[in-house]
Structure formats: structure tokens, C-alpha cells
Structure 1
Amino acid sequence: MTTSTRHHPIARITHWVSAVALTVMAASGMRIINAAPFFARKGDAPFAWWPWEGTPIPSVLTMGAWLGGARHWHFAMI
């Protein structure tokens, strides 16, 4: 049995759609965090959970124009 016939095409399509949706949700979620650093706990610096504390997530890893655009992308993938 070859790899191409192992899984039904519907299963392949739905898995790729899920992969794209997860990627878009992650990228837009990171933009939401950048746009609204008030998600930090009281007393902590913004982006305290990020390994490079105090610096925002690089814009290359994010998606959406700013908070509004990122929210549109984020909720479109639900």
C-alpha cells in the first residue's frame, strides 16, 4: 500500500485545513498579545511570560494589522 492511498482524501483535506487554522490562530494570537500587553499580571512587566522579558513578539511571527485586524483573523479561524 502506498502512502497516497493510506488515508482518505477527506481526512487529508481536513487535517491540512486544521493545520492552517492553527497557524493563523497562533500568529494572530501573538499579535493580540503585542497589541494589548495589559494581559500581563498586575505588577509584572509587559511580556513577562515571554522568554525575552520586556520585548514584544517579533512582528514576523504575528498576523493582522493591529488589535482589530488580528482579532478578525483570530475569530475567523474558529
Structure 2
Amino acid sequence: MAKIEVFTKFLCPYCSRAKALLDRKGAEYQEIDVTMDRAGFDAMVERAGGARTVPQIFIDGQHIGGSDDMAALEARGGLDPLLGLA
């Protein structure tokens, strides 16, 4: 299975939506809460090419983007192969 990292903040509905999609897929992921972690947030922004919104999702080191980006990837049939499910 792929290594999945999801950068989140407390009470973020988009974060909840992204995690729910991964949960439905049975995918294990590492949640990195940057609510009170400035260094973690700065590292996320750097890795995400300047994106400052959450969630920011990485699969095997590849930046996927946010919740809407992952949902669009799923709609195109591109998420399962990245997760190792296809």
C-alpha cells in the first residue's frame, strides 16, 4: 500500500472529507495536524509548492493537492492506482 500523508487542521471540513474518502478506500494514512505546529505548517507549504490551505495530501511523496483535487482524481479513476488498489 502507498505511503499517504494528510496535512490537516482541527475542525476542517475539507480535511474530514479527504480522510473519509481514504477511509472508504481502506487506505492507511498519516495525519499531520498543523493547527498549532508552525514548523509543520511551514514544511507543508514548502512541500506543497506554496499552497497554504488544508488539507494537503501526498501519496508516495507525490503532491496530490487538496480535498477537491483528490476527489477529482477519484472521479477520473486515478486514485486507486496511486493507492495500489488497481
TM norm structure 1 = 0.27
Larger helix fraction of residues:
1
Larger strand fraction of residues:
2
The structure whose Rg is larger is 1
TM norm structure 2 = 0.26
